[in-house]
Amino acid sequence: MSKASADLLCFSGLRGGYGDTTVLKGIDGGVREGQTLGILGRNGVGKTTLMRLLAGYLQPFSGEISWKGKDYGRLAPFKRSRLGLAYSPQEQVVFDELSVADNLVLHLDSRDLSRYAPYLQAFPRLKERLRQRAGTLSGGEKKLLAFVRVLAEGKALSLLDEPTEGVQQENIDLMADLLRQRAAQGAAFIIVEQNLEFLRQVMDSLLVLDHGQCVAQGRAAEFDRARLAGFLHV
């Protein structure tokens, strides 16, 4: 079986960037159903660019992105969503002027919050603030709101860019638990993250970027904490 057919999402020779600037210089990778691919690297090495390419908010200069073995590298973001992809960016993760509840139902056909029940139980702070304007939340609370919204979508693959940034440690542990539960149900994740303990809890494989190139790649068992930390040193 080829890699493209084995993976839910596969990318190969991926080059991309902004205007005349090439950020990614030929990246290969993929993730299977029920698996989590971690993306690690220092700031400014191309991690968010990769996520934007996979989500469809950037078009690649060259290379291929496939979904279940079929090319989808030129599909618009909303078409990728229909296929089963969800995306939570690093910045601007919520609509500040809307309430917490409105942020949770904006993309739905009804205002029914029942799908969020297990997540609001896990993060009662969000439940307490459903009527509050999302812009008044702390940075970590906004990240939790975005995380909950994406997981509740129940998509086959979720792209999460720095999901634990600013989040309290007890909530980070709960996030890891919820991700593992969803993965056990067959969901796949690609997660950009610099919290090494969180990454070690959830990842099945890892791709490390530096200066727009892959400098390490493999199964989670190949990377102990010391090796992971070395990739973040200047």
Q: How many CB atoms lie within 10 A of CB 112?
A: 9
User: Is residue 99 pLDDT above 80, yes or no?
Assistant: yes
Does a structural domain hold residue 121? yes
| Bridge partners of residue 29, in order along the sequence | 11
Residue 111: pLDDT band (50, 70, 90) is confident
Each residue of 130-180: pLDDT tens digit? 999 999 999 999 999 999 999 999 999 999 999 999 999 999 999 999 999
Residue 25, classed as helix, strand or coil, is strand
Does a structural domain hold residue 14? no
Does a structural domain hold residue 228? yes
CA distance 71 to 79: 13
- CATH number of the domain bearing residue 94: 3.40.50.300
Residue 5: pLDDT band (50, 70, 90) is very low
What is the number of domains present in the chain?
1
Does a structural domain hold residue 99? yes
Does a structural domain hold residue 212? yes
Residue-number span of the structural domain to which 133 is assigned: 33-58+76-232
Tokens for 85, please give them. 């992809």
* Residue 3, pLDDT score: 45
Does a structural domain hold residue 68? no
Strands (E), the chain: 9-18, 21-31, 36-40, 62-67, 70-71, 85-88, 157-161, 188-192, 205-210, 213-219
Does a structural domain hold residue 173? yes
Each residue of 194-229: pLDDT tens digit? 999 999 999 999 999 999 999 999 999 999 999 999
User: Is residue 4 pLDDT above 90, yes or no?
Assistant: no
pTM over 0.85: yes
Residues contacting residue 139 through CB under 8 Å, at least 6 positions apart: 165, 166
* Residue 2, pLDDT score: 39
Does a structural domain hold residue 98? yes
Mean pLDDT of the chain: 93
* Residue 234, pLDDT score: 61
